[in-house]
Amino acid sequence: MTRISLLSDQNDSHSHAGEESDSTPHQMIEIEDEDNKSPTKKIKDLEVCVPIVYGTMSFWLGRKATETQSHMWTVYVRGATNEDLGVVIKRVVFQLHPSFTNARRVVESPPFELTERGWGEFEIAISIFFHDDVCDKQLDLFHLLKLYSEVEHGPLSTKKPVIVESYDEIVFPDPSEEFLARVLNHPSVIVPQLPATLNLPPGPIEDVHEKKRGDTKDHPLGQWFIRFSEADELLKLAEARQQVQNYIVKLRRRLSMLEGSAPTLKTSVS
């Protein structure tokens, strides 16, 4: 897991200019927007975290496979809990191999994904652009498309895909009031406890249809998505710990058996 901190240019300019200022937690500051000259209210010393998962899933086409199209694959950026990321992400650009027609693919709305067919593995550049009140910097990621499993070496299967996913947490320091109000109760965003004295503007009314369209909970590939959650990680650690303990017990048993069967050397003194 990687934590990626994105600080907008407006935040950068203020942080350098205000090093001598009061550092009271959650202090409200105003930064003038250079485009429309309207002040943007930022909440200082607060971070908003957005867990994301990006990766690829590929299926062998079996009898339908050809020399140039052996696999069908999907590359995507999704919420770690399969919630709609459109509340934070404005668009995602996938840069494919130059051999593809229109290799630069732009996805303007969730779900942020695209599906193609091909025969070769290559690195996909993924550029994530955020809404204006979130961050003015893009996030560039790179992901290697895998068509063949490096773990299972049996015959190819059309039913079981090859999945490679990465989990990252994007951190937005000093969020704007508008951004914080919009994501305050959104399940895909982690917001720390706010002071009771902080008054935020009312958040937008949720469009249920749009929200459901952006969810990946009912995604046709959802059964194959890797689950990334704190509970799952703790469960994996507990299982791994148990496996280690079982292995230690087996080693101790084998060691005692070897010690019990080892010949003893008898010496006689005349």
Quickly count: other Cβ atoms within 10 Å of residue 194's Cβ.
14
Percentage above 90 pLDDT, the chain = 42
pLDDT of residue 241: 72
pLDDT at residue 41 tops 90: no
* pLDDT band (50, 70, 90) for residue 220: confident
pLDDT at residue 23 tops 90: no
pLDDT (tens digit per residue) in 83-124: 889 999 999 999 999 999 999 999 999 999 999 999 999 999
Distances in whole angstroms, Cα of residue 109 to Cα of each of 38, 89, 207, 212: 27, 8, 14, 12
Instruction: Indicate the domain borders of the chain.
Output: 2-232
CATH fold label, 2-232 = Immunoglobulin-like (2.60.40)
Please state, in angstroms and rounded to a whole number, the distance separating the CA atoms of residues 79 and 54: 9
CB 58 within 8 A of CB 146: yes
Tokens standing for 205? Answer: 């009314």
CB 28 within 8 A of CB 44: yes
Average pLDDT over residues 167-173: 92
The C-alpha angle 253, 257, 258, rounded to 5 degrees, equals 120
Q: Which residues pair with 254 in a beta bridge?
A: none
CB 55 within 8 A of CB 75: yes
For the chain, the average pLDDT equals 80
